[in-house]
Chain A
Amino acid sequence: MEAPDEQLMLAYRDGDAGAFEELYARHKGALFRFVLRSVRERALAEELYQEVWIRVIEARERYERQARFTTWLYTIAHHRLIDHWRKAGLKTVSLNADDDPPPEPAAGPAHDPLRQLEGREQLGRLLRALEALPAAQREAFLLREEAGLSVAEIAAATGADEEAAKSRLRYALKKLREALDDA
């Protein structure tokens, strides 16, 4: 039986490097996709992703078992993204604006998800619809799909109340479903 994430983090706090390696292996893919699909730029996503883990590492001495490790990890990621967007002055990716206008289509082949998903029209539409979501709704959806967080945990990780988190998730699902049904 696998050790819980929280137990692994406590073991790492107490000096077990192997515990961190196992913890990292469990969460690296989902966290990377969460960051990548939030910022839609691979180089930037890699930088932010690394910084999230560095924050986890630096916080090891203060780690306490108060919530699920996953919620704690994505709370750190959320804050890192907020810091990035504030620093960049990107209004269209504000997490607090549920009614953000869709971002402009990404320019250039490196930013074009359709280039990466050629031949998969439906998935392409889904991906574009995901990018077009307001940041808060996209984040709620990604936290649900990638991190497996519940509505309450999404609310905790993003600092929102549960009603707001639930509302964001429903709007996101509705728009994504519409994008799929358009086919």
Chain B
Amino acid sequence: MPDQDRDVKVSGSYRALDREEPPRALDEAILAAARRELETRPAPLVAPTGRRHWYVPLAAAAVIVLSVVVTLHVQREQPGPEFDGNVAPAPPAQPAPKAEPAPRVEIQTKRDARKPPPAAPASQAELAKPLAGPAESAAGATSEARRAQPMLERQAVGQAAADAVAKRAEDAETPERTLERIAQLRREGRHKEADEAYAEFRRRHPDYRIPERMLEQVQPR
């Protein structure tokens, strides 16, 4: 402390004053309170460590928010009912138009994806429609196309999955069952389809011996 903040005479005189002390009873009361405190509330489980920084709770909140966002994003990115095999077959994916006019993409709902083929806008060609008017900027359209890209990819993936399911169903069909299906096509007069199915049958089962009675019903005419 600098000398200008100290006065030896004043300090000495002050220290010569009575040195009052608290009464002993007060001392005992305070010390007893201190002991009681330890009995009622033992040592903290986690000792306070350092200064509590403002960013600690903020970081915790950020981690929680990020976790929720990532979880929701992952859930939305996962394929939904498109994989249930009820999706109508759609034409192969076409590249999204890049040049003018910028594409406007309508997001297809899952309900639409379950509609029969003629009504379902399952193809990417139907998903991508021209801009309604020139007022919309190319930047905005590009942004929309970028947002729609994951949807288009999901459509293609869903279509491939549906084809795979159908192929597995065909593979699982027994030769007898296939022949009965072909015979049914003949009876219905759908000979072109029956011929194709029969040719496919022969390709798949070249060594299969068709019973005579069945052969009359399924062979090409």
Q: Do A and B come from one complex?
A: yes
- Give residues in A with beta carbon < 8 Å to B: 12-15, 17, 20-21, 24, 28-29, 32-33, 36, 46, 49-50, 53-54, 57-58, 60-64, 66, 116-117, 120, 122-123, 126-127, 130, 144-145, 150-151, 166, 169-170, 173, 176-177, 180
* SS of A interface (majority): helix
Asked whether A176 and B33 contact (CB < 8 A) given A117-B17, A127-B17, the answer is no
Q: Is the CB of B34 within 8 A of A32?
A: no
* 26 chain-A/chain-B pairs, Cβ below 8 angstroms: A12-B38, A13-B47, A14-B43, A15-B43, A17-B35, A20-B34, A28-B22, A28-B27, A29-B20, A32-B22, A46-B23, A50-B26, A50-B29, A53-B33, A57-B33, A57-B37, A58-B37, A61-B48, A64-B48, A64-B49, A122-B13, A123-B16, A145-B11, A151-B5, A173-B6, A173-B7
Closest chain A residue, CB of each to CB of B10: A176
In the complex, given contacts A14-B43, A28-B22, what are 6 additional A-B residue pairs having Cβ atoms less than 8 angstroms apart? A17-B35, A57-B37, A60-B37, A170-B4, A173-B7, A177-B7
Contacts of A123 in B (CB 8 A): 13, 16-17
Q: Are A49 and B10 neighbours in the complex by a CB distance under 8 Å?
A: no
Q: CA A130 – CA B31 in complex, angstroms?
A: 31
Contact size range, B: 35 or more
A117 touches B18 (CB 8 A): yes
Known: A117-B18, A145-B15. Is A53-B1 also a contact (CB below 8 A)? no
Residues of chain B touching chain A, judged by Cβ–Cβ distance below 8 Å, are 1, 4-7, 9-11, 13-23, 26-27, 29-31, 33-35, 37-38, 41-44, 47-51
- A-B contact count, CB below 8 Å? 102
Of the listed residues A28, A49, A122, A170, the one surrounded by the most CB atoms of chain B closer than 10 A to its CB is A28
Contact (Cβ within 8 A) B20 A33: yes
Q: A14-B47, A28-B27 are in contact. Are A177 and B18 (CB under 8 A)?
A: no
Closest CB in chain A relative to B143 CB, distance in Å = 51
Task: Identify the closest chain A residue to B14 (Cβ).
Answer: A145
A-B pairs, top 4 by smallest CB distance, nearest first, are A15-B43, A32-B22, A20-B34, A173-B7
For the complex formed, measure the closest distance between the CB of B99 and the CB atoms of chain A, giving whole angstroms.
65
* Closest chain A residue to B16, Cβ basis: A123
Q: Verify B5–A166 contact, CB threshold 8 A.
A: yes
- Residue in B10, B15, B49, B50 whose CB lies within 8 Å of A177: B10
Enumerate chain A residues within 8 angstroms of B48, measured Cβ to Cβ: 61-64
Are B17 and A150 in touch, CB under 8 angstroms?
no
Please give, as numbers and ranges, the residues of chain A lying within 8 Å of B14 by CB-CB distance: 126, 130, 145, 176
Distance in Å: Cβ of A51 to nearest Cβ of chain B: 10
Measured between C-beta atoms, what is the minimum distance from B44 to chain A in Å? 5
| Chain A: CB-nearest residue to B29 | A50
**Contacts A24-B34, A63-B48 given; does A46 touch B11 at CB 8 Å:** no
